């Protein structure tokens, strides 16, 4: 979700603080946003259930924005609990907004089956409500599309993103950054469909729109650069891909500091780029740095480490260091099997890689 998509949770009883908070999130001033949240929470505790529900929702959007998904889940749950005590007039629209964001959080946490149920229910409720705001319906469509892409249902994903784009185009100006976010999602789906040339056009459009509206140091611009770099790597445009990755890294450091999971993702991609260019020393350096950042933030057993562990395994396998490769794949498999809702596509890939290494150990005199 972009900063511009942080939803207005009804009519606030302390609009000045929450308006300033939304502006701070839009501009990626996260330290300011933390202070504004403290002010909003103090005011809400004096003003009653509706204000507490709204402020908890805003706290959840902040946590989601900075990548603290467990905290986002917690605060959205607080908002849901408080909303249950409101009259239907206030409770229903707020609960629907919360459910959409909760679904997005569960998708980010890898709990895809839970996300599917929550987002599908919210989408049905919005579809049944003739007066639902177009932007909120579009948000539900877009998040369902993200989930569909992640779970391999690419045609569904593209259809949902296009529905979101149609809804938003009817109520927003053509340069609104919320449209750019959907264009980026459409581009990502095209990439997943194996159509990098089509994907590149969509993502370049998103990057241009986000950059013009939000500035080059914004998180959303960094996200577009990361996606564009992945597409360019697939089409062999390595020099431009590296330029975008370095730009994304610098923007993310500016917004979050050096220790953030998305910074680790950039280092992982820089490692992948070096690997494609047969610079294994540089690849090792970047993959190791990525793993260091990810472990520091996510812990040693988070599913977010699996891609980097698999890349390290592939790198060592390429250099005939089979025992080290087996160790990294084994750790990746352990993380996946311990997950509540594992990425089964990746698990099958890791299992197949381990099986090939074991076959080699049985047939080669020196084993692993």
Q: Return the pLDDT at 302.
A: 86
Q: Return the pLDDT at 16.
A: 72
The tens-digit pLDDT sequence of the chain (368 residues) is 443 344 444 444 445 787 888 888 888 888 899 999 999 888 888 888 888 998 999 999 999 999 899 999 999 999 999 998 888 888 889 999 999 999 999 999 888 999 999 999 999 999 888 788 999 999 999 999 999 999 999 999 999 999 999 999 999 999 999 999 999 999 999 999 999 999 999 999 999 999 999 999 999 999 999 999 999 999 999 999 999 999 999 999 999 988 899 999 999 999 999 999 999 999 999 999 999 999 988 889 888 899 999 999 999 999 999 899 999 999 999 998 887 666 677 888 888 988 988 887 676 656 56
Rounded CA-CA distance 335/320 in Å is 24
Q: Return the pLDDT at 27.
A: 85
Q: Which of 279, 251, 281 is nearest to 265 (CA)?
A: 251
Rounded CA-CA distance 288/324 in Å is 13
Q: Return the pLDDT at 220.
A: 96
pTM of this structure: 0.86
CB atoms within 10 A of CB 47: 15
Three-state secondary structure of the chain: CCHHHCCCCCCCCCHHHHHHHHHHHHCCCHHHHHHHHHHHHHHHHHHCHHHHHHHHHHHHHHHHHCCCHHHHHHHHHHHHHHHCCCCHHHHHHHHHHHHHHHHHHHHHCCCHHHHHHHHHHHHHHHHHCCCCCHHHHHHHHHHHHHHHHHCCCHHHHHHHHHHHHHHHHCCCCCCCHHHHHHHHHHHHHHHHCCCHHHHHHHHHHHHHHHHHHHCCCCHHHHHHHHHHHHHHHHCCCHHHHHHHHHHHHHHHHHHHCCCCHHHHHHHHHHHHHHHHCCCHHHHHHHHHHHHHHHHHHHCCCCHHHHHHHHHHHHHHHHCCCHHHHHHHHHHHHHHHHHCCCCCHHHHHHHHHHHHHHHHHHHHCCCCC
Q: Return the pLDDT at 308.
A: 95
Q: Return the pLDDT at 15.
A: 53
Q: Return the pLDDT at 368.
A: 63
Q: Return the pLDDT at 21.
A: 86
Q: Return the pLDDT at 88.
A: 84
Q: Return the pLDDT at 215.
A: 93
Q: Return the pLDDT at 12.
A: 43
């Amino acid at each position: 979700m972009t900063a511009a998509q942080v939803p207005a949770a009804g009519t606030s009883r302390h609009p000045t603080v929450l308006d300033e908070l939304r502006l701070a999130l839009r501009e990626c001033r996260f330290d300011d946003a933390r202070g504004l949240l403290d002010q909003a929470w103090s005011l809400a505790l004096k003003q009653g259930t509706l204000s507490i529900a709204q402020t908890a929702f805003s706290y959840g959007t902040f946590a989601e924005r900075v990548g603290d998904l467990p905290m986002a889940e917690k605060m959205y749950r607080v908002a849901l609990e408080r909303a249950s005590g409101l009259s239907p007039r206030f409770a229903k629209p707020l609960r629907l907004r919360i459910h959409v964001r909760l679904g997005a959080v569960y998708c980010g946490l890898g709990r895809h089956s839970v996300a599917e149920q929550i987002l599908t229910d919210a989408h049905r409720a919005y579809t049944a409500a003739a007066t639902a705001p177009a932007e909120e319906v579009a948000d539900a469509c877009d998040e369902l599309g993200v989930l569909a892409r992640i779970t391999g249902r690419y045609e569904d994903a593209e259809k949902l993103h296009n529905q979101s784009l149609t809804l938003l185009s009817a109520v927003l100006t053509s340069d609104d950054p919320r449209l750019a976010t959907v264009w980026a999602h459409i581009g990502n789906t095209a990439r997943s469909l194996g159509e990098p040339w089509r994907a590149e056009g969509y993502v370049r459009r998103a990057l241009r729109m986000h950059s013009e509206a939000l500035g080059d140091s914004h998180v959303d611009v960094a996200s577009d650069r990361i996606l564009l770099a992945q597409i360019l790597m697939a089409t062999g445009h390595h020099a431009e891909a590296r330029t975008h990755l370095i730009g994304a890294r610098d923007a993310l450091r500016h917004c979050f500091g050096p220790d953030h999971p998305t910074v680790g993702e950039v280092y992982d991609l820089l490692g992948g780029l070096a690997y494609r260019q047969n610079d294994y020393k540089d690849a090792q350096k970047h993959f190791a740095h990525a793993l260091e950042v990810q472990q520091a933030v996510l812990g040693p057993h988070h599913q977010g480490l699996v891609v980097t562990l698999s890349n390290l395994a592939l790198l060592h396998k390429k250099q005939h260091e089979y025992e080290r490769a087996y160790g990294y794949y084994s750790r990746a498999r352990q993380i996946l099997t311990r997950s509540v809702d594992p990425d089964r596509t990746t698990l099958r890939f890791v299992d197949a890689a381990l099986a090939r290494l074991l076959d080699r150990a049985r047939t080669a005199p020196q084993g692993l």
